Chains A and B, each alone.
Chain A
Amino acid sequence: MAILSVKLHAAAPPPMHGISVAPFLLGVAFAGLLAAAAEAEEIVVAFGAEPTQVEPTRATAGVDAYFVSLFYEQLLNVDPELERINWLAESWSFDRAGADHVLSVTLREGVKFHNGDTLSAHDFRFAYERQRDPMSRAAGRFRYVRDLVVHDDRRFAIVFDEPDAAFVPWNLALWAVPRRHFEAVGEVGMQMHPVGTGPWKFVSRKPREELVVERFEDYWNAGAKPRAKRLVIKIIPEDTTRVAAFKTGEVDWIDAVPPAQVQAFSRIPGVRTVSLPGPNNLYIGMHATDPRHPLADVRVRRAVAHAIDVDAIVEYVVHGQGIRTAQLAPGSVGYDAALEPYPYDPDRSRALLAEAGYPRGIRVNCYNLTTPREPNIKEVGEAVFAFLSAAGIRCRIEQMEYGAWINLLRVASRPRMDGIISAMWGHGLPADPTDAWSGHLHTSTDAWGRNSYHSDPMFDGLVESLRTTMDPGARYRLATRIARLKHEQVAGGLPTYRPMISLAWRDKIAFRPWPAAGWRSMYEIDLAR
């Protein structure tokens, strides 16, 4: 951002000797107009977190979706009203073919990759092979898939051993990757220079500094085509600096407005802010698989639930930027308005502990995440553990950065969690708990129960059924039933609230948030006309 240099140019034009100044000034003015026009086509945005992987098969963290969704697309998408819509798929259907379950897909015509190749079913066959490779980050999504069969350039079928309802919330799981281009440039080439069908074309990237993209002129979807010509994404991890860059006009749009500043931002003239429910749900995980551990007793888990004043945490720790949930938020599959969160009642909590045989309370290890994966997450965990300690569930708090925390949370790695952990799960937008509940409730330590500290054959059967129940009405009823049982048993963790995501942009920007990448999808972005 050339604030200094612009001011210097304006203040000190070069001295003119012996010639008329007017043509020069006209020239300068014209050049200035051209420069301004070029600049007007460019929008500068700032993200707080930076993805590392931009190729969808290798993406792991939620932040990777920020960049992946610029370049790559799936068969389905979710629109700003949270309706799932056909995207690269013109049509699709789940059918029975004998003992098999078949997902038949017909692709749109005329979809181009950034390199000019036309999208075909063979690209999806290639993507399927890559994605189900054990080294892929998405292999688990193809657990029930036996094969992908290409019928012709536009039609293919995915053959399942069992129906898989989670495939729909994953937008049919596959990403469009250009087979021929990939084979030519290889893994590293794709990572360094991504080529997809998405609305933005890669221009350049400086890790930890910026990503520059330009509008893909041959983008197939005119309705969602960005009108801005060029987008510069700056990476500014420090909140104060990101906010300062926005206030000085160096950036036009910012991600992750700090919760304490959302109100103040909304009062700045010429600035628009929006706070939207994000794709995560915070919860308190409890070690309930060891029968000798106090938390294996449902009364102790209920004592935990009554001990935490979540409303106060939402109001004071995250400045109102959260939606309280009993199990699921409105709009989620399985949402039940009648299900109320556990009320804050420390006396009831102590009584439950006494009833469970712990009249003097218990001592547990409490693990807190300190890396800011969600706004004020460290402080939220500290507040939770303070409430617990006050009610007799005395916490030995261990603060953990993300790497250590994720190791502890996952049952496939060591060491394993042995107490209470402040955690979050992603349920997507619109929210579907199928995959997350499997991870939190299933007994097995494989992909089913990947971060489950609960063991109950009833829940095992229920989450397996949820995964294979395709009928929307039946799925909703089953999810509602699981939510109620989960709530009563305080099983698979105690949900607390759903964090809001706050974005801000100047009036000169016309921006409509799309929910992909946690509302950071840059489809409809332009300079206001």
Chain B
Amino acid sequence: MRRYVLNRLWQGAVAVVGALFIVFVAQRLSGDPVALLLPMDATEADFEAMRQALGLDRPLPVQFVVFLRDALTGDFGHSYLWNMPAMDLVLERLPATLELALAGLVFALALAVPLGVLSAVHRGGWIDNAAKLFAMLGQAMPGFWVGLLLIVFVAVQLQWLPAYGRGTVGHLILPAIALGWYPVAAMTRTLRSSMLDILQSDFVRMERAIGLPERAIVWRFALRNAAVPLVTLIGVYFANMLGGAFVIEVVFAWPGVGRAVVEAVFARDFPVVQAGVILAAVIFVVVNLIVDLTYGLIDPRIRHE
């Protein structure tokens, strides 16, 4: 087990450096940040001086090695625009992103688990059809559009909840629904299929034969066995929510990491983009590792050798 974890961490480190390299090269191909930093009447000499000051005049491999060397000592560079350490700029937004992603995940699970289970138990019935319709709508409606609808109806028309920003629990509800909306569909469908398989299995027939209550069979035994693919999805979507909630963050003016990094991409603020990519890649690696380790807890037949 220990060896497995160490091996995965090593692979994860390689993945982080690989992702960073791709972004490092891609963003430098996207254009020169200096034009955004200098005034309109800057001369070609001013451009050169600024590139030199920022180290952008060096060959790309040299820039990458220097960046990696500094990163290993905890120095991820300073934001070109904000004049503060890039990693600080990203990390100070992490709590907001974590809060939103967790709330979105809770919303998604709170809907997907009962819907998935009930639609499998009542296969072909009205609950199943309603769940399928809901899942279809979930996949057809993008989160940002759901977000705008929620703002217009719940915040503006009904005035039940705030339209934007972060602060109280009330501020969290609408963006969490918008963020969790899409995963509900996929989770519901996955759990339904998995539950259908499990409910046909020998051990469930055995439990029924010995007279266990149906409620206990479904919710205690079948659901636990059907949860493995759901856990995989939870890992994927949670990591996506942490790293890719940009659109929802913009719609609700939520001060999260995604918004900071995407805005940095447009501003060619390379250090902030790099810090954001490192953070996102580490989160992906860690979440996926946790998911893999969780399999063993849910299903003891799965062992990591």
Q: Mark B40-71, 1 if CB is under 8 A from A, else 0.
A: 11111011011001000000000000000000
Tell whether A407 is near chain B: CB-to-CB under 8 Å.
Answer: yes
Tell whether B30 is near chain A: CB-to-CB under 8 Å.
Answer: yes
Q: Which residues of B are found within 8 Å of A293, using beta-carbon distances? A: none
Which range contains the number of B residues in contact with the other chain? 35 or more
Interface residues of B in 3-38 (CB under 8 A from A): 30-38
9-residue interface stretch from B115-123, B212-220, B261-269: B261-269
Complex Cα distance, B252 from A242, in Å, reads: 9
Complex Cα distance, B262 from A371, in Å, reads: 13
Tell whether A304 is near chain B: CB-to-CB under 8 Å.
Answer: no
Name the distance in Å between A503's Cβ and chain B's nearest Cβ.
19
Tell whether A446 is near chain B: CB-to-CB under 8 Å.
Answer: yes
Q: Mark A213-243, 1 if CB is under 8 A from B, else 0.
A: 0000000000000000000001111101110
Q: Which residues of A are found within 8 Å of B162, using beta-carbon distances? A: 1, 3-4, 245, 248, 250
Name the distance in Å between A387's Cβ and chain B's nearest Cβ.
28
Q: Are A1 and B152 in contact (CB under 8 A)?
A: no
Query: If A60-B37, A209-B166, A450-B42 touch, does A413 touch B156 (CB 8 Å cutoff)?
Result: no
Interchain CB contact (< 8 A) of A250 among B47, B164, B263: B164
Q: Which residues of A are found within 8 Å of B167, using beta-carbon distances? A: 1-2
Complex Cα distance, B168 from A5, in Å, reads: 7
Q: Which residues of A are found within 8 Å of B41, using beta-carbon distances? A: 140-141, 435, 439, 447, 450
Tell whether B127 is near chain A: CB-to-CB under 8 Å.
Answer: no
Tell whether A357 is near chain B: CB-to-CB under 8 Å.
Answer: no
Tell whether A529 is near chain B: CB-to-CB under 8 Å.
Answer: no
Interchain CB contact (< 8 A) of B156 among A206, A248, A439: A248
Tell whether B98 is near chain A: CB-to-CB under 8 Å.
Answer: no
Complex Cα distance, B126 from A215, in Å, reads: 62
Q: Are A403 and B33 in contact (CB under 8 A)?
A: yes
Q: Are B266 and A446 in contact (CB under 8 A)?
A: no
9-residue interface stretch from B79-87, B99-107, B230-238, B295-303: B79-87
Query: If A244-B163, A248-B162, A445-B44 touch, does A403 touch B253 (CB 8 Å cutoff)?
Result: no
Tell whether A192 is near chain B: CB-to-CB under 8 Å.
Answer: yes
Tell whether A138 is near chain B: CB-to-CB under 8 Å.
Answer: yes
Query: If A140-B41, A446-B43 touch, does A413 touch B34 (CB 8 Å cutoff)?
Result: yes
Tell whether A486 is near chain B: CB-to-CB under 8 Å.
Answer: no
Query: If A1-B165, A3-B159, A3-B161 touch, does A134 touch B36 (CB 8 Å cutoff)?
Result: no
Query: If A241-B151, A241-B253, A244-B163 touch, does A4 touch B170 (CB 8 Å cutoff)?
Result: yes
Tell whether B250 is near chain A: CB-to-CB under 8 Å.
Answer: yes
Complex Cα distance, B250 from A439, in Å, reads: 35
Tell whether A187 is near chain B: CB-to-CB under 8 Å.
Answer: yes
Interface residues of B in 164-223 (CB under 8 A from A): 164-171
Q: Mark B257-291, 1 if CB is under 8 A from A, else 0.
A: 00110010011100000000000000000000000
Q: Are B39 and A247 in contact (CB under 8 A)?
A: no
Q: Which residues of A are found within 8 Å of B31, using beta-carbon distances? A: 403-404, 407
Q: Which residues of B are found within 8 Å of A191, using beta-carbon distances? A: 82-84
Tell whether A401 is near chain B: CB-to-CB under 8 Å.
Answer: yes
- Most chain-A Cβ atoms within 10 A of its Cβ — which of B33, B53, B171? B171
> Please, which residue of chain A has its CB at the minimum distance from the CB of B169?
A4
Which range contains the number of A residues in contact with the other chain? 35 or more
Tell whether A316 is near chain B: CB-to-CB under 8 Å.
Answer: no
Complex Cα distance, B38 from A451, in Å, reads: 13
Q: Are A240 and B89 in contact (CB under 8 A)?
A: no
Q: Are A192 and B155 in contact (CB under 8 A)?
A: no
Complex Cα distance, B253 from A209, in Å, reads: 7
Tell whether A410 is near chain B: CB-to-CB under 8 Å.
Answer: yes
- The number of A-B residue pairs with CB atoms under 8 Å apart is 155
Q: Which residues of A are found within 8 Å of B46, using beta-carbon distances? A: 134, 139, 412
Q: Which residues of B are found within 8 Å of A451, using beta-carbon distances? A: 40
Complex Cα distance, B150 from A248, in Å, reads: 13
Interchain CB contact (< 8 A) of A52 among B82, B148, B165: B82
Q: Mark A47-88, 1 if CB is under 8 A from B, else 0.
A: 000001100001010000000000000000000000000000
Q: Which residues of A are found within 8 Å of B47, using beta-carbon distances? A: 412-413
Query: If A135-B50, A413-B47 touch, does A208 touch B263 (CB 8 Å cutoff)?
Result: yes
Tell whether B255 is near chain A: CB-to-CB under 8 Å.
Answer: yes
Q: Are A238 and B251 in contact (CB under 8 A)?
A: yes
Tell whether A188 is near chain B: CB-to-CB under 8 Å.
Answer: yes
Q: Are B83 and A187 in contact (CB under 8 A)?
A: yes
Q: Are B253 and A237 in contact (CB under 8 A)?
A: yes
Interchain CB contact (< 8 A) of A403 among B148, B171, B252, B266: B266
Complex Cα distance, B251 from A240, in Å, reads: 8
Q: Which residues of B are found within 8 Å of A247, using beta-carbon distances? A: 156
Query: If A4-B169, A208-B263, A446-B43 touch, does A137 touch B164 (CB 8 Å cutoff)?
Result: no
Q: Are B152 and A244 in contact (CB under 8 A)?
A: yes
Q: Which residues of B are found within 8 Å of A30, using beta-carbon distances? A: none
Complex Cα distance, B40 from A137, in Å, reads: 9
Complex Cα distance, B253 from A235, in Å, reads: 7
Complex Cα distance, B10 from A426, in Å, reads: 53
Q: Which residues of A are found within 8 Å of B89, using beta-carbon distances? A: 207
Q: Are B84 and A192 in contact (CB under 8 A)?
A: yes
> Please, which residue of chain B has its CB at the minimum distance from the CB of A4?
B170
Interchain CB contact (< 8 A) of B251 among A1, A52, A241: A241
Q: Are B49 and A135 in contact (CB under 8 A)?
A: yes
> Please, which residue of chain B has its CB at the minimum distance from the CB of A3?
B162
Complex Cα distance, B115 from A270, in Å, reads: 46
Name the distance in Å between A386's Cβ and chain B's nearest Cβ.
26
Complex Cα distance, B81 from A207, in Å, reads: 11
Tell whether A406 is near chain B: CB-to-CB under 8 Å.
Answer: yes
Interchain CB contact (< 8 A) of A208 among B42, B43, B259, B266: B259
Complex Cα distance, B160 from A3, in Å, reads: 8
Q: Are B148 and A413 in contact (CB under 8 A)?
A: no
Q: Are A135 and B163 in contact (CB under 8 A)?
A: no
Query: If A60-B38, A450-B42 touch, does A240 touch B161 (CB 8 Å cutoff)?
Result: no
Q: Which residues of A are found within 8 Å of B170, using beta-carbon distances? A: 2-5
Q: Across chains A and B, which 8 residue pairs bring their CB atoms closest together, nearest first?
A: A4-B170, A140-B41, A447-B41, A244-B163, A52-B81, A209-B255, A137-B39, A236-B253
* A-B CB contact pairs (8 Å), 5 listed: A241-B253, A250-B162, A404-B30, A410-B35, A447-B43
Given contacts A248-B155, A446-B43, 5 further A-B pairs with CB under 8 A are: A139-B39, A209-B166, A241-B164, A250-B164, A446-B44
